[in-house]
Amino acid sequence: VAARIDHSFSHHGIAVSDAYAWMRDPGYPDVTNEDVLNHLHAENAYFEAHMAPYEELVTELFEEMKARQPQDDEGVPFKDGDYTYQWRFEGGAQYRRWYRAPVETSDRWSLVLDEVALAEPHEFFRLGGLSFSDDGNHVAYSADTTGAERFALTIVNLTTGQTVDTTIDQTLGSPVWANNTTLLYAVVNENWRPHQVRKHVLGSSVDADAVVYDEPDESFFVGVDRTMSGDYLIINSGDHVTSEVRVLATTDLEGQWRLVSPRKAGHQYDVDHQGDHFYIRTNDTHRNFRLVRTAVATPEPQYWEEIIAGSDERYLRHLMCLRDHVLVGERRKGLDHVCVIAGEQEHLVEFPEAAYSAGFGTNADFDQPFVRLSYQSMVTPSTVFDYDFATRSLTERKVQQIPGGYDAGAYETVRLNAPARDGATVPVSVVYRKGLPRDGSAPLMLYGYGAYGIAIPPSFSTTRLSLLDRGFGFAIAHIRGGDDLGYHWYEDGKLDKRTNTFNDFVDVAQHLIDQNYTSAGKLAISGGSAGGELMGAVANQAPELWGAVGAHVPFVDVLNTMLDDTLPLTPIEWPEWGNPIEDKAAFEYIQSYSPYDQVEVKDYPPLFVTAGLNDPRVTYWEPAKWVAKLRYLKTDSNPVIFKVEMGAGHGGKSGRFDALRQVAEEYAFFLTEIS
C-alpha cells in the first residue's frame, strides 16, 4: 500500500489532485530518493511473493519458449562493399557475434564485433548501431548498457583490433560514415532529445568535433543517414507529423547542406537517391503519400515530377533505391505490398499467402540485382526471401528455425471485420489451434497498440504457441491510431479522436464474444507503452470483459506527462496527444480518458504491470502511480502486481533468453487467472 501525500495544482482554472506525485524522484533521471526506491523494491517483493506459487508454471513456460529458440542461429549473409557480413548466435549465447569475409574468398570469416564479450560486464546491453567505413578498415558501433537509450559510440580499427580515438557518449541512432575517415553521429541533450549532428574525423579530438546541424525546435528530433547509393548524406529533422530533410554530397563534405523542402506543419517526406535524381515519398498532396523525383541539382518542391500519384487505395509507407530499381513498400486494403519500379514500368511482388506481413530486409548493396525481403504470417514463421528482378521470382534464403519442429497445418488463421460503435469496420487477425471450440468456452488473448501510425502486423510468434497449445485463441485488433488501413486510420485515432482507439478495442472484443471465439471474463488483453495506455483506458471502460490485463511500461499518466515540458518526449508528443499546457480543450479531453485520472471506485480485473527504472520513454512513476491508485480505489479482491526492472529501460531485459522470462510470467498470470 503506497503512501498518499496531498498534492494538487490548477491549470486553466481546473484543480487536479495527485496523491502519488511523490513517486517522481526530483533528481530524475537519477533515481536516488530513498522513499521512492524503497517503494519500488517493495513492489518487486510483492510481485515475487504473488508469483511464487506459480513458479513451476513460469519455469515450464520459460523452458518451452527457450526450447523453441535455436542454440545456434545465423542471419543470411549480406554484401556491403568488399565484404560479406553475417551475425550469429553461438553456443546458446544471448547476444550476437558479427563476422565478415572478403567477397572473393567467402569462406574466410573473421570476427568483427563480439556482442557477447561487450555485454558480459553488464546487466543490460543493447547494440544501437553498427557501421563500417567505406574501405572496411574501421567499424563504428554504439551501445546502451543501462536501458536509458543513451548510447556510447566506439570506433575500432579492424586491422589492429584497437579502439580509435575516444569513446563518444550521449549519442542516439546509428553512426554514419561519410567516407573512410569521417563519421557523422547524433547526440542527445540533458532531456534525451537528439538535437545535434556532429562530425568526427579519425585521429582528431572528440572535443573538436564540429556541429554540422543544431535543431533549435524543442519538439523536433534530429537524425543522420546516407542514401543507398552512398553518394549523399541526409539529415532528418522532425516530430511525429512534420519532417525536414537536408542533403550533402559525400564528395563535398565542406560544402553547404541543401534543404529539400522547408518544414511545414503536417508535411512528411523522406529522400533517397538514384543516378541523376532524388526520389521523394511525400504527403504534400495526399495523406497516403505520393512518389516524386527531381534532379539532384534542383531538389526543391517546385521541381518535383510525379511518379506515383497519391490515392485512397495505395498507402505508400517506405522508399528504397537500388541502381536500376526503385522499391516502394505500400499497403493496399490493409495488406503489405512491395512495388518494383524500373524506368516507366512497375509491378508488385507476388507472395505465397493471402494474408501476411512483408517488408524490406537487409539491403546494403546498391548494385544488387535483387531485393531482400522479410515475410511471415500468423501461421508462417519468419522467412527471408530474395526477389530477383529479372525472373520476378522469390528465392527462400532462410526460414526461422524452431527446434522440436512446428506444424503449420495444426493451426488456423482468419481475418475478421468487427463493427465499431460509430459505424467504422475494424480488422481483426485471429489464430488458434485447429479444433478450438466455437461455443464461447475458449479463453482468448487480445493484443492492441493503436498509436503513432504504427500498425501491428499479422506476424508469427513462437512464444504465442505456449498459449495456443493450451487452448487459447490469439487475436490482434487493428484499431485506429495505427495506420493499418491507411494514414486516415492513424488520424482517426489521435488528438481529439483518441478515444476511437479505446472504443475500437472494446468493440473488437465484443465482436469476438458475439462470434463465440470467447466470452466475457475469458479475455486476456495485453499492450505496451501507448498500448499500455490502451490497457488502462479499456480497463476503465469495460472491466467486466477482461479476465486478466497485461500492461507493459504503460503510458497511463497522460495528462501529467503532457503538462511537463521538461520530460524528454513531451514536446515532440504534442502533435499526437495535444498540448494541454496551452489548450484548455486538449487539457479537458486528455483528462477525460487518461487512465490514471479516470480510475474509479469499482471492480477491476486482475492486472500484471511492468516498468523499467531507466525508461526515458514512459517514466517508471507512471505505472507506479497507476498501480497505487488502482489498489486504493478498486472494490474487488483481484490482484494488481507490478514488476520494476531496476537495471533496464523501455524494452525490458535485453538478452534473447532473459526477455522470454517476462513473457512466461505474463502467460502464467493469464493461465492462472483465466481457468
Please give the positions annotated as active site: 529, 615, 650
Residue 170: left if φ>0, alpha if ψ -120 to 50, beta else—which one?
A: left
Sign of CA dihedral 557, 427, 608, 441: positive
Q: 658-673 and 55-67 are packed helices; what angle lies between their axes, rounded to 10 degrees? A: 130
Rounded to whole angstroms, how far apart are CA atoms 615 and 129?
19
Q: What angle do CA 201, 206, 209 make, to 5 degrees?
A: 60
- Amino acid letter at 513? I
Q: 584-593 and 499-514 are packed helices; what angle lies between their axes, rounded to 10 degrees? A: 30
Rounded to whole angstroms, how far apart are CA atoms 424 and 410?
33
Q: Three-class SS string for 161-173?
A: CCEEEEEEEEEEE
Are 466 and 65 in contact, with CB atoms under 8 Å apart? Answer: yes
Q: 521-558 burial by CB neighbour count: b if 16+ within 10 A, else e?
A: ebbbbbbbbbbbbbbbbbbbbbbebbbbbbbbbbbbbb
C-alpha cell at 659: 526477455
Give strand ranges (E) for 239-296: 243-249, 258-259, 269-274, 277-282, 290-295
Are 258 and 294 in contact, with CB atoms under 8 Å apart? Answer: no
29: preceding bond cis by omega (within 30 degrees):
yes
Rounded to whole angstroms, how far apart are CA atoms 240 and 260?
19
Give the SS3 label for residue 402: coil
C-alpha cell at 598: 479516470
C-alpha cell at 13: 482554472
Give the SS3 label for residue 123: coil
N residues, the chain: 675
How much is the CA Rg of the chain, to the nearest whole Å?
Answer: 25
Q: Could you say which DSSP state residue 480 is in?
A: B
Q: 155-182 burial by CB neighbour count: b if 16+ within 10 A, else e?
A: bbebeeeeebbeebeebbbbbbbbeebb
Max CA distance (Å), the chain: 73
For residue 399, how many C-alpha atoms fall within 13 Å in the half-sphere facing its CB?
11
